[in-house]
């Protein structure tokens, strides 16, 4: 019979016949921690009802371009924790961070050096880098998928009526030396979508919804572990209080101002422009 004292054991026992041993392990641990939480705070029936209502609203806020549970996982630090566990820090490798909820459309393939800016506003910027493995060997033919917010802090999918389709997205392939380069504009910091239940949670807890300015970068190739990371703009607001805990100091780079008409002409950009180099080191291993 059920009792508060032995509730977790009773419920865990009901999962004893689970065929998949990993599923049984995960559920048993979930039950232990969930019941311990409810007991530690002596959750009241009214609070339980509020939680049911919150989860229901979160589910009903989800659409093909809005994922409220990913947002919830992000603001509770769970997304970053899962990422950290699956990509343990290693001084040699480029650090990973969250994918975020805006990688919902495929980036268009582009040639090295192309611009991903289809709208033509914002501070012009040249991004370069090289993909290498942990032994420093360049990785030719790697896919470098980039996506970012614009100078007003919006992704294309958030303003489909105002912004060109696939604005500020590009899929590049590294050259024989592992190199990649593209033209873009400097992204702005932005709020995560905060007009739903997760936004209400942030307001109720006096947390702001902002993420510091960054460019998303995902690197993949046969024989490489896929790396999902960000290139953060040094000096952007919110580097110390990212709403989703995604900042790692090794990923913050100066976007230096270059005031040199010759170099600007060489890069195919107006002068002055901003300039950042982002060398990337990825581990050999199973892709995924």
Of residues 115 through 174, those in contact with a second copy by CB under 8 A are none
Task: State the first-to-last Cα distance of the chain, in angstroms, to the nearest integer.
Answer: 45
Q: What is the closest distance, in whole angstroms, from the C-beta atom of residue 72 to a second copy in the complex? A: 9
Please tell me whether residue 3 binds a second copy under the rule CB under 8 A: yes
Near a second copy in 26-85, by CB under 8 A: 26-27, 29-45, 47-48, 52, 55-60, 62, 67, 69-70, 73, 76-85
* Pick 135 or 206: Cβ nearer a second copy: 206
Would you count residue 258 as binding a second copy (CB under 8 A)?
A: no
Nearer to a second copy, 138 or 237 (CB): 237
- Nearest-approach distance from CB 68 to a second copy, in angstroms: 8
CB of 226 to a second copy, least distance (A): 10
The answer to whether 253 contacts a second copy (rule: CB under 8 A) is: no
User: Could you say which residues in the range 80-109 bind a second copy, by CB under 8 A?
Assistant: 80-86, 88-89
Number of residues in contact with a second copy under rule CB under 8 A: 73
Q: How many other CB atoms are there within 10 angstroms of residue 57's CB atom?
A: 14
Place of tokens 């504009």: 185
Give the bridge partners for 229, in sequence order.
Answer: 217
Of 159 and 207, nearer to a second copy (C-beta) is 207
- Listed ranges 111-119, 152-160, 199-207, 267-275: which one lies at the site for a second copy (CB under 8 A): 199-207
Residue from 24, 103, 253, 263 in contact with a second copy (CB under 8 A): 24
| Sign of the dihedral defined by the CA atoms of residues 14, 19, 23, 29, in that order | positive
β-pairing verdict for 227-233 and 214-220: antiparallel
231: CB partners within 8 A, 6+ apart: 127, 214, 215, 217, 251, 253, 276, 278
* Contact mark string toward a second copy, 262..281, x via CB under 8 A: --------------------
When the beta carbons of 31 and 185 are compared against a second copy, the nearer one is 31
Q: Is 191 in the site for a second copy (CB under 8 A)?
A: no
Q: With binding defined as CB under 8 A, does residue 285 bind a second copy?
A: no
Q: Are 64 and 252 a contacting pair, CB within 8 Å?
A: no
- When the beta carbons of 10 and 128 are compared against a second copy, the nearer one is 10
Residues 202-221 that bind a second copy (CB under 8 A): 204-207
Considering beta carbons, is residue 42 or 111 the nearer one to a second copy? Answer: 42
């Amino acid at each position: 019979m059920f009792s508060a004292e032995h509730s977790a054991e009773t419920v865990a026992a009901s999962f004893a016949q689970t065929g998949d041993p990993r599923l049984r392990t995960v559920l048993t641990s979930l039950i232990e921690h969930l019941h311990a939480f409810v007991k530690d705070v002596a959750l009241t029936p009214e609070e339980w009802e509020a939680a049911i209502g919150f989860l229901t609203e979160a589910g009903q806020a989800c659409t093909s371009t809005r994922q409220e549970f990913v947002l919830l996982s992000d603001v509770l630090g769970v997304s970053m924790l899962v990422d950290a566990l699956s990509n343990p820090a290693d001084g040699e490798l480029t650090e990973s961070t969250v994918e975020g909820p805006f990688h919902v459309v495929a980036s268009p393939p582009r040639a090295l050096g192309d611009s991903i800016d289809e709208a033509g506003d914002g501070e012009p910027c040249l991004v370069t880098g090289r993909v290498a493995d942990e032994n420093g060997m360049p990785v030719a033919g790697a896919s470098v998928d980039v996506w970012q917010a614009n100078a007003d802090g919006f992704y294309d999918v958030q303003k489909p009526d105002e912004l060109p389709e696939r604005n500020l997205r590009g899929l590049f392939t590294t050259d024989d030396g592992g190199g990649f380069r593209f033209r873009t504009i400097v992204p702005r910091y932005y709020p995560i979508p905060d007009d739903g239940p997760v936004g209400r949670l942030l307001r109720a807890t006096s947390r702001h919804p902002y993420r510091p300015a960054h460019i998303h970068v995902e690197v993949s190739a046969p024989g490489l572990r896929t790396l999902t990371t960000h290139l953060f703009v040094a000096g952007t607001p919110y580097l110390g209080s990212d709403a989703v805990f995604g900042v790692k100091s090794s990923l913050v780079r100066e976007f230096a101002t270059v005031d040199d008409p010759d170099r600007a002409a060489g890069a195919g950009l107006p002068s002055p422009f901003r300039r950042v180099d982002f060398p990337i080191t990825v581990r050999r291993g199973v892709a995924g």
